[in-house]
Amino acid sequence: MISVENISKGIHRTLSDHLSPMFTTLTELTIVGIFVLTLFAVLGLVLVFMERKVSAYMQIRLGPNRVGYKGLAQTLADTIKLVVKEGLTPNGADKFLFNLAPFIVMFGAMLLMAPIPFARNSQIWDLNIGVLYITAVSSISVIGILMAGWSSNNKYSLLGAMRSGAQIVSYELSAGLAIISIVVLTGSLKISEIIASQETGWWLFRGHIPALISFVIFIIAVTAETNRAPFDMAEAESELTAGFHTEYSGMRFALFFLAEYVNIFIVCAIGATLFLGGWMPFHIGNWAGFNHLMDFIPSSIWFFGKTFFLIFVIMWFRWTFPRLRIDQLLNLEWKYLLPIGMFNLLLMTIIAIMGWYF
């Protein structure tokens, strides 16, 4: 059967037959690098189009439907437009930092691709502290945002970048607590073991109430971390300008724009892995027949299906709710999400020790 696992094994066999081990590894690294870059590009295209169509249907209208067949080539047209625009550097801007900032944000997103499994046995890097790696690397993008705001030499960008930075740093706490509650249930930080432990059922269903609360907190926290509505005061269109990426135009703006959507994909992939079982099909306990039936659907389809479902939920949030003011946003985090998260972690630990889960 065609599966990601078989393809990667086949390539490895072919390469190691013809080349020395060092060259094999180098070639494989290059192939993986190209794969990640292509995935980024394709994801960017697909997600932007999906956002425009989802928002259109929720707003009782059609969305892009003229460029290409039923509007599918719309994002391509948008990308071409952004690429041919003039990339202006403002007058007093710190040139080195100004040019570096979009790359740092992309860099953080790319590093996070490594521990995520796309299909059975298809992880780029299965390290034994996978979850810790994810939480640590996701903080790198804050540096990029602050750099962008500072180096623009523009007081509104600075204001927007500071707000963004405060918001991201606060919500990482809640996201971390939600992730830890799943680690408590599994007993391991390694991602492949977390998925393997969901063989008899996804943690969202097996961990009942605390897992549900964790999941809700996780979704809210990652919406805030990626600066999406209802938490996008920092870059809101109807407020002062566009926040930290006001001065960016052309290709650099395209990189920020792309990085935002790829970030959404990554955090939804992490949520799908931890709470919804990653590539594990939907199994119910010991119903062998049902489980065997579910195994027929390829694991990569399960993974992408779950991730895109979570992306749809995040888009649903954006187009339904108004924006929170910056102080209300921080209020929500420190007074509501964090205490509930901590209490939930305690509850989850008790349940894990007593074995009160399915």
Which residues here bind other proteins, judged by CB under 8 A? 54-55, 57-62, 155-156, 229-230, 232-233, 236-240, 316-317, 319-328, 336, 340
Q: Which is nearer to other proteins, 146 or 213 (CB)?
A: 213
Considering beta carbons, is residue 55 or 99 the nearer one to other proteins? 55
173/330 with CB nearer other proteins = 330
Residues in the chain: 358
Residue 219 Cβ, how far from other proteins at the closest point, in Å?
12
Amino acid at 232: D
Q: Which is nearer to other proteins, 86 or 237 (CB)?
A: 237
The nearest distance, CB 69 to other proteins, in angstroms, is 15
Task: Report in angstroms the alpha-carbon separations of 276 from 10, 86, 212, 286.
Answer: 29, 43, 11, 18
The residue (of 185 and 315) whose beta carbon lies closer to other proteins is 315
Peptide bond into 230 cis (omega under 30): yes
> One-letter amino acid identity for 169?
V
In the complex, the smallest distance separating the C-beta of residue 328 from other proteins, rounded to whole angstroms, is 6
Judge whether 182 and 203 are in contact, CB under 8 Å. yes
Min dist CB 157 to other proteins, Å, is: 13
Rounded Cα gap, residues 282 and 291, in angstroms: 7
| CA separation, residue 179 to residues 203, 264, 351 (Å) | 12, 16, 16
CB of 260 to other proteins, least distance (A): 17
Tokens of 354: 């007593």
The C-alpha angle with vertex 74 and arms to 248 and 242, in degrees rounded to 5, equals: 25
